[in-house]
Amino acid sequence: MMSERFVYVEVWNSESLDRLKMSEVPDKAVDFCAWLTSKLETVPTEFQKDVMIDFSIESDYDRGYVNIEIYYHRPETPEEQKAREEREREIIGLCKV
């Protein structure tokens, strides 16, 4: 029996945005909490308790940047499983040539 697979779902990631978009993130704590709540509300209710937030620091010459990643994992849907298995079969077929 195959184990259940999980899918990474990105809610928001400052690294995948233009750095200017970081201005979307509020400076004030109360505004940041409201902003974060608005991101959490985009996640289906059954996965909201599993949402993770990672902060990392990146330096570029004399500047530092904080990268924010908000994400969760959920079980793979039957449609996603079928698509993944088809891609895997294609890859295996290419390797046999």
Distance CA 57, CA 59 (A): 7
Distance CA 38, CA 45 (A): 13
pLDDT of residue 17: 60
Q: Tell me if 58 is assigned to some domain.
A: yes
| pLDDT, tens digit (0-9, with 9 covering 90-100), for 48-80 | 999 999 998 877 777 777 788 999 999 999 999
Q: Tell me if 70 is assigned to some domain.
A: yes
Q: Tell me if 1 is assigned to some domain.
A: no
| pLDDT, tens digit (0-9, with 9 covering 90-100), for 12-55 | 888 766 655 667 888 899 999 999 999 999 999 999 999 999 99
Distance CA 32, CA 27 (A): 7
Q: Tell me if 48 is assigned to some domain.
A: yes
- Degrees to nearest 5, angle at CA 75 with 39 and 71: 25
Q: Which residues span the domain enclosing 45?
A: 6-95
Q: Tell me if 44 is assigned to some domain.
A: yes
Q: Tell me if 12 is assigned to some domain.
A: yes
pLDDT of residue 9: 94
Q: Tell me if 72 is assigned to some domain.
A: yes
Number of domains in the chain: 1
